């Protein structure tokens, strides 16, 4: 077994100092209290490669010199990237492309889409972990729109009539795509007007809902940003330690707070559409989302052996095992 020296990503949304597990696990001699420690990367991706600590060489070089340690499945190098995340404030509203879409996006815009690979990912909570993930059930979306009628100015009466709990699944997917796209591509000034109306109304409520409080919180982090409306459409829930969610291609999500481990195919491709100062590609995100509506997408683990729990998502690149050393 080799000890790794891992890359630490200091993105703005990371937890400060030793408040997060990334800093605690980093192995750094000195952790700065005011620095944001967001992600710890374990793998061979060019944007954050790991090193063999005792030998001072890249993990990828070690594999080239010792190909047998990878086995048959990984004979061309690691097919996955493993991370620890410490989320102190919201990440972007985002999705990840399919393999075919990744090839196209990379060829068209390699700066913003650095890989020609897909990025299915599994997130397993290490602490209580808040997130937005997947579209809500149709009745919840309709209820949230009616409770926040200001956005009907953008959606329009005709589209509101088409979206109904009486429709079949495909009809509602098509309607939701139109509604979501109209909102996310609306003029910036119109969005600001709508958001300010919603925030003014919410601020006067004596009893605020969880969604109300989240809207206020997101506005404090990203004032007048379109992503503030994401909780009306996406499931807002909290994973307990050990619980997981699997994010397939073109599923919308945004991590909000907490620590988790992530395992994903070897890619750093992200399609962003709000709650970020980074490059946004709203049209690509809206065009390609699945628009599948359900409850919170909790991914079920299973017992693999004594002291071993397995998380096996429907992808060929990885399976994650959680070991309890007290029981193995």
SS (H, E, C) 198-257: HHHHHHCCCCCCHHHHHHHHHHHHCCCCHHHHHHHCEEEEEECCCCEEEECCCCCEEEEE
Question: What single DSSP character describes residue 67?
Answer: G
CA dist list (Å): 126 to 103, 259, 307, 311, 322:
33, 5, 17, 14, 11
Residues identified as active-site: 272
Instruction: Measure the CA–CA gap between 17 and 33, rounded to whole angstroms.
Output: 4
Please report the sign of the dihedral spanned by the C-alpha atoms of residue 201, residue 198, residue 296, residue 86: negative
Task: Judge contact between 4 and 59, C-beta under 8 A.
Answer: yes
Cα atoms found within 13 Å of the Cα of residue 70, Cβ hemisphere only: 20
> Token digits for 307?
């002291």
């Amino acid at each position: 077994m080799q000890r790794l020296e891992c890359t630490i990503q200091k993105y703005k949304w990371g937890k400060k100092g030793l408040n997060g597990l990334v800093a605690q696990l980093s192995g750094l001699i000195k952790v700065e209290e005011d620095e944001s420690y967001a992600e710890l990367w374990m793998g061979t991706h060019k944007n954050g490669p790991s090193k063999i600590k005792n030998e001072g060489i890249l993990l990828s070089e070690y594999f080239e010199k010792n190909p047998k340690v990878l086995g048959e499945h990984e004979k061309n190098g690691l097919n996955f990237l493993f991370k620890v995340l410490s989320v102190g404030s919201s990440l972007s509203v985002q999705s990840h492309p399919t393999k075919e879409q990744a090839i196209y996006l990379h060829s068209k815009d390699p700066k913003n889409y650095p890989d020609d690979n897909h990025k299915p990912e599994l997130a397993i909570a290490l602490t209580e972990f808040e997130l937005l993930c997947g579209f809500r059930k149709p009745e919840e979306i309709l209820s949230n729109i009616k409770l926040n009628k200001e956005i009907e100015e953008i959606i329009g009466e005709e589209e509101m009539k088409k979206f109904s709990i009486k429709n079949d699944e495909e009809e509602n997917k098509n309607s939701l795509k139109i509604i979501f796209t109209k909102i996310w591509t609306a003029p910036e000034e119109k969005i600001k007007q709508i958001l300010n109306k919603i925030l003014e109304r919410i601020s006067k409520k004596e009893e605020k809902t969880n969604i109300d409080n989240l809207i206020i919180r997101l506005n404090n982090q990203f004032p007048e940003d379109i992503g503030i409306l994401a909780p009306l459409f996406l499931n807002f829930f909290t994973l307990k330690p050990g619980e997981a969610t699997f994010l397939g291609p073109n599923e919308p999500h945004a991590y909000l707070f907490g620590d988790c481990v992530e395992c994903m195919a070897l890619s750093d491709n992200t399609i962003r559409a709000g709650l970020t100062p980074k490059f946004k590609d709203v049209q690509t995100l809206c065009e390609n989302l699945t628009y599948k509506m359900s409850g919170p997408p909790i991914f079920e683990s299973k017992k693999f052996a004594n002291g071993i729990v397995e998380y096996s998502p429907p992808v060929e690149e990885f399976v994650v095992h959680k070991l309890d050393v007290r029981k193995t």
